[in-house]
Amino acid sequence: MEKEKKIVSILVPAYNEQEVLNLLYDRLKTIMDNLSSYDFEILFVNDGSKDDTLSVMDKLHKKDLRVNYLNLSRNYGKETAMIAGLDYIKGDCVVILDADLQDPPELIPEMIKFWEDGYDDVYAKRRSRKGESFLKKLTSKIFYKTLQSVTNIEIQKDTGDFRLLDRRCIEALKSIRESQRYTKGLFSWIGYNKKEILFDRDARAAGQTKWNYGKLINLSIDGLTSFTTAPLRWSAIMGILVSLAGFIYMLVIIFKTIFYGIDVPGYSSTMVVILFLGGIQLIFLGVIGEYLGRTFYETKGRPLYFVERYNDQKETNEHLNNK
Ligand code: UDP
Ligand code: MG
């Protein structure tokens, strides 16, 4: 009897990607057709696109039965689109791929090879980044350095979400239902056997990047606060140092008052102390607020996303009520 073929799922989150989906499909098709020892599934997740992405997906689905698509009820962001996709894929492994062809699908056969060798997470590391500004490269470098220095888990540098994951990694990720997800960190956090392969990241094939600095800053703060409470520790240490300094200064003032009489101290030094301490207090209130905010979101325990439909089937989301 012929051995059953393993299924390789390809997960593509897409937001306003009507220009590139057909290109992407063509490149994927060549690869799928060449690897006849596997069955393939492409799952497009439409993350509430405002253009014709959905109808492009629908056409591809009608043309090729290996293509499925999931339509989310609105735009949730890439992190959520990915977990939605993971919930729906059928494969023994998954390759997560950006829609814009910045992650070359030609790497998939190599990833599969390492997967067959027993690796659970084959991630693609960028050797170069074309089409990204100097500032973006610099800021991303600084962010990774900071994140690495405050967390115990190893964060992979210059690595995106482009990777192959074994079924057990998929199940691990699915079991983590936090609402403000920082998936790059979760990949490291779940562990398992990791293998790095290098590639040159191309510039976007068409369309616009969805990231701006505002979103990147938010993602960085999510990354920091979801993996470490180090900022809270820094606040506490800073507080101790400042009050220690304050205490010593108090002794000096008492000493001076007793032995040299009351002297009216300078206006500027008083102002400096007030402004400095006031500033620090506000920053640390902000830090505490960040963590409190995260707790607030997580305790609500809302579903991570709602699905409008899966292929041509309307999703009722009933399953969410009978857990
Ligand atoms: N994306 C998404 N939802 C969003 C924003 C982006 O699903 O709200 C998808 C997007 O379609 C692409 C991937 O996430 O497939 C990466 O986005 P982009 O190329 O804009 O990011 P960059 O490569 O510039 O970091
Ligand atoms: Mg991109």
Domain with 93 in it: what CATH number?
3.90.550.10
Percent of the chain with pLDDT over 70: 94
In this structure, are 294 and 234 located in the same domain? yes
Q: Is the CB of 102 under 6 A from ligand 1?
A: yes
- Regarding whether 287 and 266 lie in a shared domain, the answer is yes
Looking at the fold, whether 90 and 163 belong to one and the same domain comes out as yes
Indicate the number of domains in the chain: 2
User: Which pLDDT score is estimated for 321?
Assistant: 64
Of 167-176, 243-252, 266-275, highest mean pLDDT: 167-176
With beta carbons less than 8 A apart as the criterion, state whether 150 and 228 touch: yes
Query: Distance (Å, rounded) from C-alpha 46 to C-alpha 32?
Result: 22
From the CA of 20, the nearest ligand is 1
Identify the pLDDT of residue 41: 94
**Is the CB of 211 inside a 6 Å radius of any atom of ligand 1?**
yes
| Test site for ligand 1: of 210, 212, 218, most ligand atoms within 8 A of the Cβ | 210
The reply to whether 220 falls in a domain is no
Ligand nearest to the CA of 161: 1
Do residue 317 and residue 275 come from a single domain? Answer: no
Other CB atoms within 10 Å distance of the CB of residue 28: 23
Ligand nearest to the CA of 211: 1
159-166 sheet: strands from edge to edge: 194-201, 121-129, 159-166, 93-96, 6-14, 38-46, 67-72, 307-310, 313-314
Give the list of residues 6+ apart from residue 123 with CB closer than 8 angstroms, or none.
Answer: 156, 159, 162, 163, 164, 187, 194, 195, 196, 197
Is the pLDDT score of 272 beyond 90?
Answer: no
CA distance 127 to 202: 10
Is 60 exceeded by the pLDDT of residue 73?
Answer: yes
Nearest CA to ligand 1 atom 10: 14
Domain match, 312 and 174 both: yes
Q: Are residues 308 and 248 in the same domain?
A: no
Q: Are 281 and 189 contained in the same domain? A: no
The pTM assigned to this predicted structure is 0.78
CA-to-CA separations, 101 to 30, 47, 91, 109, in angstroms, rounded: 14, 17, 22, 16
Average pLDDT value for the chain: 85
Residue 316 structural domain: 7-214+303-322
Closest atom of ligand 1 to CA, residue 160: 25
Asked if residue 142 and residue 242 are part of one domain, the reply reads no
Average pLDDT over residues 87-110: 91
